[in-house]
Amino acid sequence: YQAVQYDRPLIERVVTVTGKKIENASNFWVKIGTPIKDLVEEVGGLPEGTRKIVNGGPMMGKAIKNTDVPVTKGTSGILIISEDEASRQEAKNCIRCGQCVFVCPMGLEPHLLMNLSEKGLYERAASEDVMTCIECGSCSYVCPSHRPLLDYIRFGKSIVKKLNTSKN
């Protein structure tokens, strides 16, 4: 609305900073470029035992190594996760339950895309539409074998993107 009505570019946005152990979880209206470090300070700093800092939401956000990075237009929130919440269960073999296929909003076969990326079969992954994955994380969330589906799919996508760029 602001872009169309007032010719105003996106220069600020709302960022939620939260986490179970955060003292003063808050929403901030900040300029793009604001250091994430400053927002974390505002909510009481990183609690002891912090294991992960996620830039974005719990499903689609990406872990960041530290808070010395700026807010970008995609920074919907900063999620601070403690050691006990972040622990991943050990990945087991695929039991072919089909849950990942059932939940995929894009009609993909996440178990297949993961296998193709794991085995380096990127051309085949491309032909199986890996690039249409919207990285919602639903497949990883429901997998009873705790398989890191999205991690491998993201990796496969990055390689396919590079391959496509080098062809053009």
Footprint of ligand SF4 (CB under 6 A): 94-100, 103-106, 108, 110-111, 133-139, 142-145, 147, 149-150, 153
Q: Least separation, in Å, of the C-beta of 151 and ligand SF4?
A: 10
- Residue with smaller CB distance to ligand SF4, 116 or 147: 147
Nearer to ligand SF4, 78 or 104 (CB): 104
In the complex, minimum distance from the CB of residue 67 to ligand SF4, in angstroms, rounded to a whole number: 26
CB of 15 or CB of 143, closer to ligand SF4: 143
Least separation in angstroms between residue 87's CB and ligand SF4 is 19
| CB-nearer residue toward ligand SF4: 32 or 142 | 142
Alpha carbon separation from 3 to 6, 10, 34, 79, 100 (Å, rounded): 6, 8, 21, 29, 38
- State both tokens at 7: 């010719």
Residue with tokens 């979880």: 25
Q: How far is the CB of 34 from ligand SF4 (least distance, A)?
A: 29
CB of 132 to ligand SF4, least distance (A): 8
> Which residues does residue 122 pair with via DSSP β-bridges, in sequence order?
none
Considering beta carbons, is residue 96 or 167 the nearer one to ligand SF4? 96
